[in-house]
Structure 1
Amino acid sequence: MIKDKLFENYLNDINQTFEGWDFSFVTETGRLQNELLSWSYGSIVRPLIQTVNSMLDMGTGGGEFLSMLRPFPKSIIATEAYKPNVSIAQRRLEPLGVKVVELVDEDNLPFETAQFDLIINRHEYYSPKELRRILADNGSFITQQVGGLDCSRINEIIGSDLNHEYFNWNLKNAVGGLEQNGFRITLMKEEFPIQRFFDIGALVYYLKAIPWQVPDFRVDKYMDGLYQVHKLIQRQGYFDAKQHRFLIKAELT
């Protein structure tokens, strides 16, 4: 049993409510900070949204990000596969004219062939084959993805294996999959920015919010590893983990 009152108090942040894709509990207070990327996904997609007649936002979460990209084209649909987020996205987006579709099978999308001029995807799974089917000729696909090495130091220090299913998910393999399905790559970048945690409470809140980082995460199971991180933060003031991000813009030739 670890006897450390500060550590115990921070661990209570696991009980804080997380809804949609809103990390403001730890980001707005400065307890979790991210190093900047050399690109802005929002600045890339927003001008394109205003030049097309139809678009799809894959994996909209609670609709927080998409809602800030107005004005929208005449036809706009957003998908979400995580059931708790679907109603949140509907409440936020449908008054803005966005149809929100809950996905059941992400490899068989419920859309017509060549239905969309633009497909955007931020941190969401996609099937290159399905993208080709539903994207119109001369259409564009833009995605920012989380790579398979994302925040691997968290797993290493608390004693959890990385998710080997996505270990090789990187720019090279993603580009290869798109090119094999008839896409022409017009922009690609890959970076490893730092994500900095300033207290152990911010880390346990983060791990609760994104369960795929440590799929079996429980405070009691990883108590010793979490305490190691806590002591590291007490010594140097923070704990750093490298994120893994890559960006692709592709067009149908």
Structure 2
Amino acid sequence: MGGQDSRSFEELLAEGVAVPTEGWDFSWFEGRATEARPSWGYAVSLADRLAAATAALDLQTGGGEVLEFALGRATKAPVLTVATEGWPPNVAKATALLAPRGVAVVASPEDAPLPFADGAFDLVTSRHPVQAPWPEIARVLRPGGTYFAQHVGPHSVFELVEYFLGPQPEEVRSGRHPERERADAEAAGLEVVDLRAEELRIEFHDIAAVVHFLRKVIWMVPDFTVEAYRPQLRSLHERIASDGPFVAHSTRHLFEARRPDA
């Protein structure tokens, strides 16, 4: 079945470019793209973990949306909750969203040491970190403390990535592999308690959704601009119009690790 959107290629491009990319809210995609969700329900499970914690740290919180949702569902909040974020527009967005819940947002680049004391937290969390800083996670966890996170897995949305960039080498495709992350976590001194992976269907229903996605998730096609990829975008627009949604698959894994008791 062909696409149902009658707007022109140029109109859809302009719309995809105009949508702000701050934060980690994907509600704009409603009706434009769909993604299946992992069976474990990370945000709801996070609420339960927060209710049992006394001091919690959320790494690379984005715009704070997932943490704010989980705190709203938690039966009680930790005595102390802190979040880090490295991108200045997201720092501002997360601060505005999380301050009413008593959460301090600390501007901290993803590749910098965490600005917290050893053993400061009994719970460290993250949803889709760019990279998990395992030695730093182990350092700031208290003995017996837990790291609970949802990670992006290997070759996630690579149908779209390789449409624009061509076939990728195996070392790129296998990056973020859960077993490699297990080994890195264990090398940092953590015990992996749970590790589950799923592959999930994504559908892009128009080219505006593709443009906005690549502008928002900038590591997918790092040099992406509409101008640089206009021929590929036009071809993909025509393909969606004639054949229906562009289908890709995301990979996710649930990660739970524990710092051993002293």
Mark yes or no: TM-score above 0.5.
Answer: yes
Q: Verify the 8 A CA contact 2:85 2:109 in the aligned structure 1.
A: no
Partner residue in 2 for 1:31? 32
Q: Does 1:100 align with 2:102?
A: no
Partner residue of 1:215 out of 214, 219, 222: 222
CA distance in 2 between partners of 1:221 and 1:137 (Å): 50
Q: Verify the 8 A CA contact 1:55 1:73 in the aligned structure 2.
A: yes
Letter in 2 for 1:63: G
Please give the per-residue CA displacement for 1:196-226, whole angstroms capped at 9, x wherever unaligned.
Answer: 1001111101111111111111112112221
Partner residue of 1:157 out of 157, 163, 166: 163
CA distance in 1 between partners of 2:54 and 2:208 (Å): 45
Shift of 1:80: 0.4
- Judging changes above 3 Å, is the alpha-carbon distance between structure 1 residues 86 and 162 closer, same or farther for their aligned structure 2 residues? farther
CA distance in 2 between partners of 1:153 and 1:117 (Å): 39
Equivalent residues in 2 for 1:228-247, closer than 5 Å: 228-247=235-254
Structure 2 unmatched ranges of 5 or more: 1-5
SS at match of 1:110: coil
Structure 1 unmatched ranges of 5 or more: none
What is the number of residues matched between the two proteins? 248
Partner residue in 1 for 2:21? 18
CA distance in 1 between partners of 2:84 and 2:53 (Å): 18
Letter in 2 for 1:46: A
Partner residue of 2:120 out of 115, 118, 121: 115
Q: Does 1:176 align with 2:183?
A: yes
Q: Verify the 8 A CA contact 1:183 1:250 in the aligned structure 2.
A: yes
SS at match of 1:119: strand
Letter in 2 for 1:228: S
SS at match of 1:243: strand
Q: Verify the 8 A CA contact 1:107 1:126 in the aligned structure 2.
A: no
SS at match of 2:65: coil
Letter in 2 for 1:226: L
- Judging changes above 3 Å, is the alpha-carbon distance between structure 1 residues 139 and 214 closer, same or farther for their aligned structure 2 residues? same
Partner residue in 2 for 1:252? 259
Cα-Cα RMSD: 1.9
Partner residue in 2 for 1:148? 154
Q: Does 1:7 align with 2:9?
A: yes
Partner residue in 1 for 2:3? none
- Judging changes above 3 Å, is the alpha-carbon distance between structure 1 residues 105 and 137 closer, same or farther for their aligned structure 2 residues? same
Q: Verify the 8 A CA contact 2:85 2:110 in the aligned structure 1.
A: no
Q: Verify the 8 A CA contact 1:32 1:198 in the aligned structure 2.
A: yes
CA distance in 2 between partners of 1:126 and 1:22 (Å): 21
Question: What TM-score does the superposition give when structure 2 sets the normalisation length?
Answer: 0.88
CA distance in 2 between partners of 1:171 and 1:21 (Å): 23
